[in-house]
Amino acid sequence: MNKKTVRDIDVAGKRVFLRVDYNVQFDEGEILDDYRLRESIPTLEYLIEQGAKTIICAHRGRPGGKVVEELRNEPVAKHLATLIGREVKSVTDCVGPEVDAAVAAMQPGDLLLLENVRFYAGEEANDPQFAKQLAALADVFVSDAFGTAHRAHASVVGVGYYLPAVAGFLMERELEYVGRVATDGEKPLAVILGGAKVSDKLAILKNLVDRAALICVGGGIANTFLRAQGIDVGASLYEADRIQDAYEVMRLASSRNDLRLLMPTDVVIADAAGTRINTVSVNRIPPGFRILDLGRRTLEDMREALAPMKTVVWNGPVGFFEREPFDRGSIEVARMLADLVGAMTVVGGGETAAAVAKAGVAQHISHVSTGGGASLEMLQGIMLPGVEILRDK
């Protein structure tokens, strides 16, 4: 993506409105996963070095335009301060007298975290007046919130109509890696798709099918593909209204000699109680049992097929990742990607990123995206509104 970044503008002494994705959860005062905070630090450190006054804007959860006490940003500010090694002040509003006073008191290098921006109904409505109020706090707009770039919200898009808008370093990296996969990644290209719904992933397949050499399907979407082959999947979840779509993808794959569609040949199944667990051929699923993970033979086939690939993108766990032992397939796929030599490996956000973290191989993956929904849409070939608003180079 040919967008300007924070390097391309002068931020010395300027007030910078920095939109980040700090949508994190706490449990008894302890943050559960601070990956998104850590990924924003290079941009923060650059702004500090340049002497900018950085006004950080973030959301947490879905409060629906109302104040929800447990979704306030103050604990986020405290944790961020420990990560960056300097004070991060916080306020209990996004606009208004308290915020104006705090911004006026800022010195070069200071960091100020605004309150949860989704406490305001104008945020998700992309209300121009609210966007204008936010923009009035600053001189420039730096977006580092790839995880919300697919949302046309006031702090993601609206502010960019009133201030010069550029990308932060995290946004730049996301656009580089996810964008390359979506447009011109080095071939041969492999796509690994999991998760529950074919409908979520079908557009990715249609966008990448012309360039892919290998498509691997797992998770709930594989059940729909198996049903399209006439296989009885027992009590497994599948999308009956997407069987025709799955069949169409299989037809497209069979029409190309240079494209392999790899589907499960063996699977891990369990009964309704989850007490009887077995690995069987996809043609031998007993009534009442559900497919919950990929089998060993399928995983070995996948490892072999991935070996010659130069670009690999993975979106969606290949099993019921939330529950052991059905997380094993996704962890194994993460290790496969980590073992690839000379390949660019890109992992979508959410549970796919969690599988990489659980496998302990994040440092061996080229890029782990912070944005599940955003990366999903970008891989579909959709231009994200939070990216469109950024200035072109």
Residues marked active site are found at: 36, 197, 350, 373
Classified as helix, coil or strand, 342 is coil
Beta pairing class for 311-315 and 189-193: parallel
Q: How far apart are CA 391 and CA 193, in angstroms?
A: 32
Q: How far apart are CA 247 and CA 142, in angstroms?
A: 44
Give the phi and the psi of residue 86 in degrees, each rounded to 5.
Answer: -155, 165
Tokens for 102, please give them.
């705090």
DSSP letter, residue 154: T
CA angle 342, 346, 351 (to 5 degrees): 140
How would you class 28 by CB atoms within 10 Å of its CB: exposed for 0-12, middle for 13-18, buried for 19 or more? exposed
CA angle 190, 194, 200 (to 5 degrees): 100
- Residue closest to 241 by CA, chosen among 212, 274, 202: 202
Give the phi and the psi of residue 88 in degrees, each rounded to 5.
Answer: -125, 105
Rg over CA atoms, the chain: 23
DSSP letter, residue 188: S
Amino acid at 359: A
Classified as helix, coil or strand, 262 is strand
| Alpha helices for 156-271 (secondary structure H) | 169-183, 198-208, 219-228, 243-254
Q: Which residues pair with 347 in a beta bridge?
A: 314, 368
Q: How far apart are CA 160 and CA 199, in angstroms?
A: 32
